[in-house]
Amino acid sequence: MVDPLLDRRSVLRAATVGTAATVAASTVAAGTVAAGTVLASATPSAASPAPVFAHGVASGDPLPDAVLLWTRVTPTPEATPGSGLGPAVEVAWEIATDPTFGTLAGSGTVTTGPDRDHTVKVDATGLHPATTYHYRFRVAGTTSATGTTRTAPATDAAVSRLRFGVVSCSNWQEGHFAAYRYLAERGDLDAVLHLGDYLYEYGAAAGAVRQHDPATEMITLADYRRRHAQYKTDEHLRRLHAACPFIATWDDHEVANDAWSGGAQNHQPDTEGDYATRRAAAHQAYFEWMPVRNQADRLYRRLRFGLLAEITMLDLRSYRSQQVPPFDGGTDDPNRTLTGAEQLAWLQQGLVSSGAQWKLVGNSVMVAPVLVPPLPADLLGPLLELLGLPREGGVVNPDQWDGYAADRRRLLTTIADNDVTDTVFLTGDIHSAWASDVPRDAGLYPLSPSVATEFVCTSVSSDNIDDIAGVPPRTVGPVVEGALTTLNRHIKWVEVDSHGASVLEVTPAGAQMDWYFVANKDDAASAVSYARSYRVRAGTQRVARVWSPIGGESAS
């Protein structure tokens, strides 16, 4: 079993090790602006939900006329998650526009049992667009907490503003989820985009902030069910699920680290069995425990929010080819794929034909190049191929789009050749915050124009540079950040030390990401402070710094 502290995201490891040799003198100042203003600090409530509804309520994937409602029931003491025990029970659900449920917009009953781990997932239909609803469940005389959700605007509606929480990488053992608490307390979000690593597969680790259950690495269906259940006992996560709908996709840790279509770095067939069996178990538990609109095993999907935005959620694990080593010319092999041919064609067609202004792509691994250094592919590509090196420059993290350059070229060419504007990739995975242009040819940037932009949220709690290096924050980080932005001019900002959540605001005039950092991820009651904002104006495909959080006056 791989020690998670020894196997973090490749780009962070490569950046830490290679910075001194690359640009030993590079330094950048820590973020200033209006950063550091404390926005939230709270002591977690001691209250717990009723044991029958110990894992809370949730909603997800809102449509103009429907939304998914979720809960899990524990009808008898032995019916614990993953146990396979307990009776089948009938669960009633209700949804209304008022919190007193005076006039119901929908209701019904469903039966659940050990075959689906006593989870409930209801598609509440016949609802009104752009409307806030309240929902709850009942079983055996016990009523759940009340959740709040919101439907999407009508497809043809002119929408003036949308706000989404953006999060990823929440490792139970490596910290608390104060970032979720901050989003839950805002009260102004249309939905939360969770971009992957909602949970982690690792077994218990010595010195962890809190221990995983089960204590062993997740391999079986029972393991994955128990781990999902554990994460949904976190008070801050339960509060956020109950406050607004989630739009989620997975990355690798929902199955195993650095997963690909036929295996994973953190899967050993000789001791852990068949990978396909393990992945099927992980996917089954995910679909049971998450409010997502999957079609069989297919997770990638689109959600429309009026004329203003369309959200495309990708699955970048299930269909990909195995990763190649860093700096390996195999990254250019046109037969290797990150998305799979079917998903890539679906993505390309969707971007070209979308009737929405903003094309938001929920993207679990970074699409903007992070190369050492970026090289002009059209000029030096043939020579680099002869040398067995990547055409576009040295790839330090082949787990992201850099490692699948042919797929990225196909995608960016489609965007450029069809004059697709206002495309924003929203990304997680690498436990750090980034704002980048996405150029067609990074080696020629800025002469080669940006065809899209990318905002990367940092981790909720998963370790990053200072945690891995065992040094105080802002010790190694500024040197790494200076190296990355010096070598990659399209990267406008990167911060590799902090944890937290982001908020994306979308208007007809632009799309802006605000980053909020927790003071101490080991503290469930940690304060949360505003850190920085970047914005892309409509029609520009270029990110620019702005100087105050969403809701205030801002200027480039």
75-111 pLDDT per residue, tens:
999 999 999 999 999 999 999 999 999 999 999 999 9
Compute the average pLDDT of residues 148-176: 98
Q: What is the CATH number of the domain that holds 144?
A: 3.60.21.70
Does residue 89 form part of some domain?
yes
Does residue 450 form part of some domain?
yes
* Predicted local confidence at residue 547, as pLDDT: 79
Does residue 552 form part of some domain?
no
Interval 407-463: pLDDT, tens: 999 999 999 999 999 999 999 999 999 999 999 999 999 999 999 999 999 999 999
Phi-psi region for residue 149, left (φ > 0), alpha (ψ -120 to 50) or beta?
beta
First to last CA, the chain: 48
- On the question of pLDDT at 375 being above 70, the answer is no
Does residue 551 form part of some domain?
no
Using pLDDT thresholds of 50, 70 and 90, give the confidence band for residue 373. confident
Using pLDDT thresholds of 50, 70 and 90, give the confidence band for residue 382. low
Mean pLDDT of the chain: 90
Using pLDDT thresholds of 50, 70 and 90, give the confidence band for residue 384. very low
Does residue 21 form part of some domain?
yes
Interval 184-221: pLDDT, tens: 999 999 999 999 999 999 999 999 999 999 999 999 99
Tokens of 75: 């009808």
- On the question of pLDDT at 389 being above 60, the answer is no
Q: Residue 363: how many CA atoms within 13 Å on its side-chain side? A: 25
Q: Express as a percent the part of the chain with pLDDT over 90.
A: 82
Q: How far apart, in Å, are the Cα atoms of 519 and each of 29, 182, 476, 499, 523?
A: 19, 12, 18, 8, 8
- On the question of pLDDT at 380 being above 80, the answer is no
Return d(Cα 529, Cα 30) in angstroms, integer.
Answer: 14
Strands (E), 328-442: 358-363, 371-374, 393-395, 423-427, 433-439
Does residue 553 form part of some domain?
no
* Predicted local confidence at residue 335, as pLDDT: 97
Compute the average pLDDT of residues 308-318: 98
Q: How far apart, in Å, are the Cα atoms of 47 and each of 77, 80, 398?
A: 20, 20, 45
Looking only at the bridges linking them, the beta strands covering 259-260 and 423-427 are unpaired
Interval 485-536: pLDDT, tens: 999 999 999 999 999 999 999 999 999 999 999 999 999 999 999 999 999 9
Q: Are 73 and 53 in contact (CB under 8 A)?
A: yes
Tokens of 435: 């704002």
Return d(Cα 486, Cα 480) in angstroms, integer.
Answer: 10
Identify the CA nearest to 399 among candidates 203, 267, 249, 251. 251
* Range(s) of the domain holding residue 79: 4-546
Which residue's structure tokens are 């801050």? 236
* Predicted local confidence at residue 396, as pLDDT: 87
Return d(Cα 469, Cα 477) in angstroms, integer.
Answer: 10
- On the question of pLDDT at 14 being above 50, the answer is no
Which of 5-14, 349-358, 433-442, 538-547 is predicted with the least confidence, judged by mean pLDDT? 5-14
* Predicted local confidence at residue 96, as pLDDT: 98
- Residue 192's DSSP bridge partners are 165, 246
- On the question of pLDDT at 182 being above 80, the answer is yes
pTM here? 0.91
Q: How far apart, in Å, are the Cα atoms of 494 and each of 68, 80, 454, 481?
A: 35, 43, 12, 6
**Domain count of the fold of the chain:** 1
- On the question of pLDDT at 237 being above 60, the answer is yes
Interval 21-69: pLDDT, tens: 333 333 223 232 344 444 444 433 434 576 999 999 999 999 999 999 9
Return d(Cα 54, Cα 234) in angstroms, integer.
Answer: 10
Does residue 205 form part of some domain?
yes
